[in-house]
Amino acid sequence: MIVAVSGGKGGVGKSTTAWNLGRELDAVVVDADLATADLPPGTGPDLHDVLAGRVEPVDAIEDVGPVTLLPCGRTLSGARASNLEELGRVLRRVEREWGRVVVDCPAGLARDVGIELRNADLAVLVTTPNEAALVDAFRAYRLTEALQTPVASAVLNKTDREAHEEVADRLGRALGVEITRVDRQQAVADAQARWMPVRDHAPDAQAVEAFRSVADRLERAQARLSGRSTSG
C-alpha cells in the first residue's frame, strides 16, 4: 500500500501526519518534498541520490527512532539532479520490501505532487480550518479525482473541538469522506520538534487516537482495494 499525504497549502501539518501515520502503520515514510524537505535529513544517502540513480532505494532507508524513513536531501543541486519520473519505480520497490509506504508530499499542486498522487494507491488530505487552507484542500481533492487516486480520509488539523465542529461536518460532506480532527495541542508540536511520533512522546494526547483512526481507515480501504483486485 502506498499512501500519499497531501493537501495543497504549506504549514497545515502534512509532515506531522505522515510521520505519525508511518508509526501507526509500521510503514516507510518517504520525504518526497524535493526542494523544502521537512522530515529528518538522515545520516547517509537520500532520495535525491536515489532519484539521480546513484543508490538503490533500500540503501537510503534508515530508522529514526520508531519510524522508518527514506529521507530527502537539502540541496538545490540535489533537487535539480533528481529524476521525478523514477519516483513511481522507487515507491514500488520500497513497497515490495516493506509492504507499506507513506509519502509526505510537498505543498502546492505542481507537477511533483501530481506524480506522487498518481503513484499512490490511496490519499490522505490534510488541512486546517482557515479559509485559504480549505480552498487548497478542495483543489488537492480535485487533483486526486483527476488522477483517480481514492481519498481514504481527511485530517482537519489544529482545531478547537467546539469551534470547528461545523467546519468538519461541512468538509466531510463536501469531500465525501470521514474527517478526523486533530486538536491544537502542545504535545503534537513538542513531539515533532523531537522527531518523535505523538504516541511515543505523549501517549494520552488526543492526537494519538486521531492518527490511529486514520490508520485504521487506511487499512480498511486497503482491504477493500485488495478484494476488488482479487475478484477482478
Per-residue pLDDT at 14:
95
Per-residue pLDDT at 147:
93
Instruction: Enumerate domains of the chain plus CATH numbers.
Output: 2-227 (3.40.50.300)
Per-residue pLDDT at 229:
57
Residue 137 exposure: Cα atoms within 13 Å on the Cβ side: 30
Q: Give, for all 232 residues of the chain, the pLDDT tens digit.
A: 999 999 877 889 999 999 999 999 999 999 999 888 889 998 999 999 999 999 999 999 999 999 999 999 999 899 899 999 999 999 999 999 999 999 999 887 777 889 999 999 999 999 999 999 999 999 999 999 999 999 999 999 998 877 888 898 989 998 889 999 999 999 999 999 999 999 999 999 999 999 999 999 999 998 888 776 555 5
Q: How far is CA 100 from CA 31, 209, 210, in A?
A: 14, 20, 19
Question: d(Cα 82, Cα 23) in Å, to the nearest integer?
Answer: 27
What are the grid coordinates assigned to 164, written together? 470547528
Cell 483517480: give the residue.
148
How many residues can be counted in the chain?
232
Q: What are phi and psi of 60, to 5 degrees?
A: -105, 0
Which stretch of DSSP H or E encloses residue 2? strand 2-6
Is the CB of residue 64 less than 8 Å from the CB of residue 195?
yes
Per-residue pLDDT at 112:
82
What is the 8-class DSSP label of residue 197?
A: -
Q: How far is CA 179 from CA 151, 210, 219, in A?
A: 11, 10, 16
DSSP-assigned states of every residue in 155-187: EEEEE-TTTTHHHHHHHHHHHTS-EEEEE--HH
Per-residue pLDDT at 103:
97
Return the biggest CA–CA distance within the chain. 51
Helical pair 14-25 and 206-231, crossing angle rounded to 10 deg: 70
Q: How far is CA 58 from CA 17, 19, 45, in A?
A: 23, 19, 10
Per-residue pLDDT at 163:
80
Per-residue pLDDT at 224:
86
